[in-house]
Chain A
Amino acid sequence: DTGVSQDPRHKITKRGQNVTFRCDPISEHNRLYWYRQTLGQGPEFLTYFQNEAQLEKSRLLSDRFSAERPKGSFSTLEIQRTEQGDSAMYLCASSSDNHGYTFGSGTRLTVV
């Protein structure tokens, strides 16, 4: 197993465009999380899936954000009508009952 994979590693987009990020968790992990991290800050929780069910969403996740995990494996995070304030590192993590959080390397989004 290669750990949690995120794609792309970097994304530069113009304000107003839509972007989609993908996360492939560790295969035996049933829980998947999205976090956002801005420069100099710790990661902030966005949302959490157990299998395919999205069980919690942070107030940080505005209506422009949507996350899916259709088959309980990989997940996508879409941001519509991007704003400059969306520029951040988007981190994915996965876990199971027997394994704690493992983070991916993140997708760095720059909105210009």
Chain B
Amino acid sequence: GESVGLHLPTLSVQEGDNSIINCAYSNSASDYFIWYKQESGKGPQFIIDIRSNMDKRQGQRVTVLLNKTVKHLSLQIAATQPGDSAVYFCAENDLNRSGGSNYKLTFGKGTLLTVNP
């Protein structure tokens, strides 16, 4: 079936470096994407989202890039800090299928980011 997947299951970076976490999706109808951060024992925490009519969106220290041609999504974290260590998930939704409301997210497996001091 259609799914969202990740290229790398683990990523280790040095404190202060930039991190890039990648995600591939297969549902060409997906038009809304979210990146979540999940720390151990906690629920997923919203980081940033992007709609398919955009190819880039920036937040505080984070940037999401969307390439609809190759169905690829990435999360860039600038100046990675030890507190950024967590599992990162991308999730997708087909807003048109959902009748315009965002529900029933499909998550990928996740990438474990480890930041070394």
> Which A residues are within 8 Å of any B CB, using their own CB?
4, 31, 33, 40-45, 48, 56, 91, 93, 95, 97, 100-106
Contact = CB atoms under 8 A, between A and B. Distances in A.
Given A41-B109, A42-B108, A42-B109, A103 B103 contact: no
22 contacts: A4-B43, A33-B103, A33-B104, A40-B110, A41-B110, A42-B4, A42-B91, A42-B107, A42-B108, A43-B44, A45-B104, A45-B105, A45-B106, A48-B103, A56-B103, A56-B104, A91-B44, A102-B46, A103-B43, A105-B41, A105-B43, A106-B42
B99 to A, nearest CB: 10
B69 interface: no
What class of interface size applies to chain B in its complex with A? 20 to 34
- In the A-B complex, list the 8 residue pairs whose CB atoms are closest, starting with the nearest: A42-B107, A103-B43, A103-B44, A105-B43, A45-B104, A42-B89, A106-B43, A43-B107
Contact of B109 (A40, A56, A97): A40
- The A contact surface, by secondary structure, is strand
B105 A101 contact: yes
Nearest to A89: B43
A41 B106 CA distance: 12
B49 interface: yes
A31 B91 CA distance: 18
A78 to B, nearest CB: 20
B102 interface: yes
Interface string B12-53: 000000000000000000000010100001111110010000
